[in-house]
Amino acid sequence: MAGVSAATDTETSQPPGAESEERDRSGSPARPLRLAIGAVGVVVTVYLACNIFLAFAYYPQWFLGSKLLIGALGLIVGIGGSVLFFWFLNLCIEGLPSRMSEGVIPYAFLLPGFSLIALLLLYPTAQTIIYSFANNDSTDWVGLANYQAIFSDPAFWSTLFNNLLWILIVPILTVAFGLTVAVLADKLSGTGEKVAKSFIFLPMSISFVGAATIWGLVYAYEDAGSSQTGLLNAIVVSLGGEPQSWYQIDTLRLNSLLLMVILIWLQTGFAMVLLSSAIKGVPEDTVEAGRMDGASETRIFWQIVFPQVRPTMLAVFITVLILVLKVFDIIYVTTNGRYNTNVIANLFFNELFVSRQAGQAAAVVVVLLILVIPVLIYQVHSFRQQEANR
């Protein structure tokens, strides 16, 4: 209900000062010269910018074949072009009668951003859904055949099961580690806290491919008897165990769990940073009141601090969950889905580029899209709530 009332508010309420503005501008008639110059300017800017960008691709020799020059020019044309574009657009719309111009200008400012979104996100999404009902070169309808094909493949269900494990395990553990680190770091001295947080935050800047390389050295396996170069096997052997080829052990999906460790390692810093700032945002007097009542530090944490950081925990949880649903790179570069470690995004990649089953690949993406919908609804809902409280 909050969302509905917020929506009607926006449409009826006037910003303060709007009345005086009406008085000032109501008389201004159309200014055809501005309108014309603005319109011509918009068209010319767009035409030139598009052609220069296409020239980067079609005629690299015009730019001496230099990547750096192309990059620098791309930056200049991109920034300059968009400033000019908006300037002309603003001029053009100001040339309209003022009543009309005030109504049109918001849409004009949204136009470029939303054009890109429509062209590169909305249109392709619709097209992919259509492809999922068509054959591999999209020349004929096949009804539900693509879906039947993927659903009847046991490998698909195994993949879906792995995704479910990732969803159940990674976000929870990331939030738990992040909270632990945030709470403990808060109890260190100022310098200690800063240093400790920097080290745990650092993996945030490392790519999934880089992280997989790093953890490859941890999980490396040499034959029993020879010297182990992998950290994990070295520890196992020094404790008297047998070295294991970790990525190949799918008992209890151990290999998937080990791959999850990589993502948790990458994301804990992110969770820590957000939770740490939430903990520091807890009003001191609420904690002080607990101390006055003689509550223990543990009790103060669970009964006073924890409820106040819960919204942030939920936000971090959802953000990591969204990331986990799309997880691809880590699996692609380590096992490529072998040994029962496949996930949906990797299945899609292999259907499309290895098996060349474009129709089934589209169907896999649609399944992924459907999995995302509950999260999407939740996000929209919580956004509306947040706006209502603003």
- Rounded CA separation 158/151 (Å): 11
Tell which residue, 210, 206, 208, 237, has the closest CA to residue 221.
237
Using CA atoms, how far apart are residues 344 and 158, in angstroms rounded to an integer? 10
Q: Can you tell me which of 35, 96, 169, 185 binds other proteins, judged by CB under 8 A?
A: 185
The CA distance from 111 to 132, in Å, is: 30
Give the SS3 label for residue 39.
helix
Cα(157)–Cα(51) distance, integer angstroms: 47
Q: Is 40 in the site for other proteins (CB under 8 A)?
A: no
Min dist CB 57 to other proteins, Å, is 4
Nearer to other proteins, 114 or 302 (CB): 114
Distance CA 342, CA 70 (A): 39
Q: Could you say whether residue 257 binds other proteins (CB under 8 A)?
A: no
190 binds other proteins (CB under 8 A): yes
Query: Locate tokens 């940073």: which residue?
Result: 273
Under the binding rule (CB under 8 A), the answer on residue 153 touching other proteins is no
270 touches other proteins by CB under 8 A: yes
Among 2, 43, 164, 188, binds other proteins (CB under 8 A): 188
Q: How far is the CB of 34 from other proteins (least distance, A)?
A: 11
141 contributes a contact to other proteins by CB under 8 A: no
Q: Of residues 363-382, which lie at the interface with other proteins (CB under 8 A)? A: 365, 368-369, 372, 375-376, 379-380
Query: Which class for 93: exposed (0-12), middle (13-18), buried (19 or more C-beta within 10 A)?
Result: buried
Query: Residue from 35, 273, 304, 331 that binds other proteins (CB under 8 A)?
Result: 273
Cβ contact 348:159 at 8 Å: no
SS3 content of the chain, % helix, strand, coil (to 5): 80, 0, 20
Site for other proteins in 196-255 (CB under 8 A): 196, 198-210, 212-218, 227-231, 234
- Whose Cβ is closer to other proteins: residue 157's or residue 353's? 353
342 in contact with other proteins (CB under 8 A): no
The residue among 256 and 265 lying less far from other proteins, judged by its C-beta, is 265
Print the binding letters for residues 97-126 with other proteins: x by CB under 8 A, - otherwise: ------x-xxx-xx-xxx-xx-xxx-xxx-
d(CA 245, CA 332): 18
Q: Which part of the chain contacts other proteins (CB under 8 A), choosing from 39-47, 152-160, 249-257, 347-355?
A: 347-355
- The secondary structure of residue 121, as a DSSP letter, is I
Residues paired with residue 134 on neighbouring β-strands, in sequence order: 141
Q: With binding defined as CB under 8 A, does residue 301 bind other proteins?
A: no
Only one residue has tokens 């580690």, namely: 177
Least distance (Å) from other proteins to the CB of residue 234?
A: 5
Among 278, 324, 331, 363, binds other proteins (CB under 8 A): 278
Choose which of 83, 100, 164, 289 interacts with other proteins (CB under 8 A): 83
Residue from 32, 71, 283, 307 touching other proteins (CB under 8 A): that is: 71
Q: Which two tokens stand for residue 149?
A: 């094909």
- Measured CA to CA in angstroms, residue 302 lies from 193, 298, 299 at distances of 22, 6, 5
Q: Which stretch binds other proteins (CB under 8 A): 8-16, 156-164, 251-259, 285-293?
A: 8-16
